[in-house]
Structure 1
Amino acid sequence: MTTAPAIELRTFTTLDHVRSDLIDVYAEVRAPLLHLPNYAVTAFGERLDRHGGEPGFSAVLAYADGHPVGYAYGNTIENGDRYWQRTTPEPAAKYTEHPTVALKEIGVSPAWRGTGTARRIHDTLLAARQEPYVTLMVNPAAGDGKVHGLYRSWGYEDIGQSQPSPASPVLTVMIRATH
């Protein structure tokens, strides 16, 4: 049996002291896509600042030898949030009638993919959450569909589509119970 790589998971509830690490690891994770306007580091920084100021923000970063190698962050969304307004078809009321965790970003450096690190980050982020559901958006073409399949293996199911911005591709909206 293989043991999990030696990483340290750290949880943050503000961007103070972690913003630069988030941007650094994002740039490494998304390197092949940084030439696309929606994936540019500056666009990510703007989204990060907006998300970091929203209710219920939390982030988990994975560190190996003091270097960030993966991350996830999310925040709480309520019924009527623009996240739900852009989702078609309209999600079932059971998903929107209570606050929900929106997993806004998750990524792991290429050298750490396939090690279980992403799942550990994901599960650590959700462990402290009280919301009954977690939702995320995924580009169905990412990794030739492998990323979408990975989320399905984690218990997520498709509930609709969304295009968060004109520069964004049409994404699949997925949801599952938090615990």
Structure 2
Amino acid sequence: MKKLICLLMVSALILSLAACSGNQKEESASSIVIDSSSKSAAEPTTAGNDGTKAVSKADLPKTEGVDVDLTKMSSTMVYSEVLNMQQHPDEYTDKIVRMKGPFNVTELDGNRYYACVIKDATACCSTGIEFVWAGDHSYPDDYPKVNEEITVTGTFNVYTEGKSKYLQLKEAEVVF
């Protein structure tokens, strides 16, 4: 019995030493952990022994005058960020957001809604953010064709219609 316990202890020691072998890998984009609780643009700090770094959203690259530039992110990051916008809209209210995707238009109860569609990496799921184009524009004459690639930059806003809340980019610029 003592030999079995001793063997188990030696095995555990070997496994723990192997786990801390110091075999460091080159840092990749997938090893970055976003710390959404950070409000300052502090230097990234090591978050653990696995080489990951905690990075605040303020440290992510942004285009001049744009707070959240989805055009600079991978499709997976874009989909994740849009999902975060849907789940935590108050964190984005009044921020300037830029996004790119296919144009879509929906008519419901006599109202027309324009949106930039976001697809996930596998293109199986899509979501979008409505936009209100700044200025005087007439549909369909001034608008892109449905599914045409557009880039929209506008002020993130949440509004209520009936009992539901909706996201939109207001005062938007549209490029197609």
Report the TM-score, using the length of structure 1 for normalisation. Answer: 0.28
Relative to total residues, which structure has the larger strand share, 1 or 2?
Answer: 2
Larger Rg: 2
Report the TM-score, using the length of structure 2 for normalisation. Answer: 0.28
Relative to total residues, which structure has the larger helix share, 1 or 2?
Answer: 1
